[in-house]
Amino acid sequence: MSARVLIVDDVEANVRLLEAKLTLEYFDVLTASNGEEALRKAERERPDIILLDVMMPGMDGYEVCRRLKASSATRHIPVILVTALDGRSERLLGLDAGAEDFLTKPIDPIQLIARVKSLSRLKIVIDELRTREAAGEQLGAIDERRSADALLAAADAPARVLVVDDNQREAALLRRTLAETHNVAVHDEPAGGGSPDLLIVSVLAKGFDGFRVIAKMRSAEPTRHLPILAITDPDDPEKTIRALELGAHDVIYRPIDSEELAARVRTLVKRKRYMDALRATLDRGLELAVTDQLTGLFNRRYLSAHLEPMVLRASCGGDSVAVLVADIDHFKRVNDTYGHDVGDEVLKEFAARIATNCRPTDIPCRLGGEEFAIVMPNATGDVACLAAERLRCHVAGAPFVVRRGAERLEVTVSIGVAASEGRDETADTLLKRADEGLYQAKRSGRNRVVGKAGAPPAR
């Protein structure tokens, strides 16, 4: 796993040292020697992780971090603050400024690599979600303001924190510190059940194997994304690294500092909520936005979003694209005679026959009412007319069985076909020609296929 790391430090020797260590592990390294340069490079180069020195003349590390976190272009990039060895107040300030993590000078190379790797893994998830969010926005599926509001509202709500620790004094401190804000459950051995927002587990426990708890949580589907904070020993780096490698998002050292604990928990919970909200908005939003609820086919919005670029490519010399517009004949009669429930059954069965008659790359849509369309990428008018004729036979060839077998209805369909041609073609002109074909098919007796302009009729 590689990543682009931006190193920011005012001392040239420090930059070179970190650069050498990271390059050795095949990370891609960028450097900056002051705050302004760091902000510029972060914005322009979009690194995956930023290693940020706190003490710099001019703009210090906190201010750089605050500005990074205030900009929507750089907010999602994890920041590791580099602080002095006993810089406890520095670390708290750093977390308040929005930093994800910190390292102390002199930097332990094993810790450095472990932290950078752990944050790279997180960054991959964030990037994936952001990509999907961008796609959703393009489709009009995601209202950015609404999702941002949801995040703000969720940020301060109490979280469910599960603590697994068999050290009584430590467990009591954890409960005392966190219970002010959160709902805390403390167990002295691994316990099942519940769905916490955060797991705090000791890898120093005598009565159970904390590493096993981390590994199990990380591999089980419902808890795969659960943030984990591991309690470790500052004098036992092996344990710290093992915890991070197994998938803990963060570690805290014994004896636990209550302010640091609160700050780290706040960061982890914030991140969890950010991810949850993004995921929920996306999954639901995308599905609602592109699917016709009755038939499960794509809807008109999806068709528009995909047809336009295909037609544009075709008009620039790319592969031809064809469209079928299909309308169930005399559908009103079905509704009038049998009622809307049976009408809906017919629509669903019709959609199923379309779907089973498509190539995997075709896009079957319900445009509304009893009108459907199929976009056929990489198809000429001839091929599309053959496909339309096959669909027509597939619909007329066997009756539609409705009311659990009580009724068998003869259903037919009229289809207009058009394929892209010429440089002036747009999605609108293409759909319009297919519509004209459909109109002709209806006028000349229904249950037939009419190809328009350049697409010769199939029969």
Active site amino acids: 370
Taking a C-beta distance cutoff of 8 angstroms, is the pair 45, 117 a contact?
no
Subset of 44-63 contacting Mg ion (CB under 5 A):
53, 55-56
Of the two residues 9 and 329, which places its CB atom closer to Mg ion in the complex? 9
| Cis-peptide, bond into residue 456, ω within 30° of zero | no
Of the two residues 52 and 375, which places its CB atom closer to Mg ion in the complex? 52
Binding window for Mg ion (CB under 5 A); candidates: 4-12, 113-121, 154-162, 347-355: 4-12
Give the C-alpha separation, 149 to 270, whole Å: 14
Of the two residues 14 and 240, which places its CB atom closer to Mg ion in the complex? 14
Binding window for Mg ion (CB under 5 A); candidates: 10-18, 111-119, 309-317, 372-380: 10-18
Of the two residues 55 and 185, which places its CB atom closer to Mg ion in the complex? 55
Taking a C-beta distance cutoff of 8 angstroms, is the pair 294, 127 a contact?
no
Subset of 256-275 contacting Mg ion (CB under 5 A):
none
Minimum separation from the CB atom of position 57 to Mg ion (A): 8
17 binds Mg ion, rule: CB under 5 A? no
10 binds Mg ion, rule: CB under 5 A? yes
Minimum separation from the CB atom of position 56 to Mg ion (A): 5
Question: What is the DSSP-derived secondary structure letter of residue 85?
Answer: T
Binding window for Mg ion (CB under 5 A); candidates: 5-13, 108-116, 233-241, 444-452: 5-13
Minimum separation from the CB atom of position 24 to Mg ion (A): 23
Minimum separation from the CB atom of position 118 to Mg ion (A): 24
The one-letter code for the residue type at 380 is T
Minimum separation from the CB atom of position 64 to Mg ion (A): 12
Minimum separation from the CB atom of position 53 to Mg ion (A): 4
Binding window for Mg ion (CB under 5 A); candidates: 6-14, 203-211, 261-269, 358-366: 6-14
Subset of 55-114 contacting Mg ion (CB under 5 A):
55-56
Taking a C-beta distance cutoff of 8 angstroms, is the pair 49, 116 a contact?
yes
Of the two residues 38 and 56, which places its CB atom closer to Mg ion in the complex? 56
Which residue(s) pair with 160 in the sheet?
183
Tokens of 95: 């977390």
Binding map of Mg ion across residues 358-397, x = CB under 5 A, - = no contact: ----------------------------------------
First to last CA, the chain: 57
Tokens of 80: 């590791």
Of the two residues 33 and 426, which places its CB atom closer to Mg ion in the complex? 33
Q: Encode 56-72: b = buried (16+ Cβ within 10 Å), e = exposed.
A: beebbbbebbebbbeee
Taking a C-beta distance cutoff of 8 angstroms, is the pair 432, 299 a contact?
no
Other Cβ atoms less than 10 A from the Cβ of 79: the count is 25
| Cis-peptide, bond into residue 377, ω within 30° of zero | no
Binding window for Mg ion (CB under 5 A); candidates: 3-11, 164-172, 196-204, 424-432: 3-11
* Crossing angle between the packed helical segments 237-246 and 109-138, to the nearest 10 degrees: 20
Task: Please give the C-alpha separations between residue 33 and each of 38, 82, 174, 336, in angstroms, as whole numbers.
Answer: 7, 14, 39, 77
Question: What is the DSSP-derived secondary structure letter of residue 397?
Answer: T
Give the C-alpha separation, 183 to 454, whole Å: 68
Residue nearest to Mg ion (CB): 55
Give the C-alpha separation, 410 to 368, whole Å: 21
Minimum separation from the CB atom of position 103 to Mg ion (A): 13
Of the two residues 56 and 68, which places its CB atom closer to Mg ion in the complex? 56
Minimum separation from the CB atom of position 31 to Mg ion (A): 13
Of the two residues 65 and 164, which places its CB atom closer to Mg ion in the complex? 65
Site size for Mg ion, by CB under 5 A?
4
Give the C-alpha separation, 394 to 214, whole Å: 55
Tokens of 383: 């091929």
Closest to 95 in 3D by CA, of 84, 80, 113: 80
Q: Which residues bind Mg ion (CB under 5 A)?
A: 10, 53, 55-56
